[in-house]
Amino acid sequence: MTTQTDMPDNIPVLEPAQRIRSVPERLRVALDAKVMEKSLLDQLVAQWLQALKPEMERMAHQIVRNSAEAYLRQRAHSSRSVSRSDSIDGDTRS
């Protein structure tokens, strides 16, 4: 099984003159700060989702319950409509 990636098939190689031999300290610090910021954001999102999980489950339960009740009401309404039309037509079957 192969996995699809967003990487192109042909990745160009830089000429030796274009390569950075050493990353400037300021750039290294800035990149490290970005990585740290992303890591902290990921942790924060995970904590929020964990804290919200009971509420999301309660909401999902309520949505399913409301949908089931609406379905049963609609079905009962349809059954009554069919029963009325049968009795109007003189059909005495039950």
Q: What percent of the chain has pLDDT over 70?
A: 82
The 10s digit of each residue's pLDDT in 83-93 is 766 666 655 55
Residue 78 lies in a domain: yes
Let me know if residue 11 belongs to a domain: no
* Residue 2, domain member (yes or no): no
Tell me the residue range of the domain where 52 lies. Answer: 26-87
Q: Does residue 70 lie in a domain region?
A: yes
Confidence of residue 59 (pLDDT cuts 50, 70, 90): very high
Rounded to whole angstroms, the Cα distance separating 1 from 45 reads 32
What is the average pLDDT value for the chain, to the nearest integer?
Answer: 86
Q: How many domains does the chain have?
A: 1
pLDDT at 66 over 60: yes
Q: How confident is the model at residue 92, as a pLDDT?
A: 54
Q: Give the mean model confidence (pLDDT) for residues 51-77.
A: 96
pLDDT in the model for residue 7: 76
Query: How many other C-beta atoms can be found within 10 angstroms of the C-beta atom of residue 86?
Result: 13
What does the pLDDT read at residue 62?
98
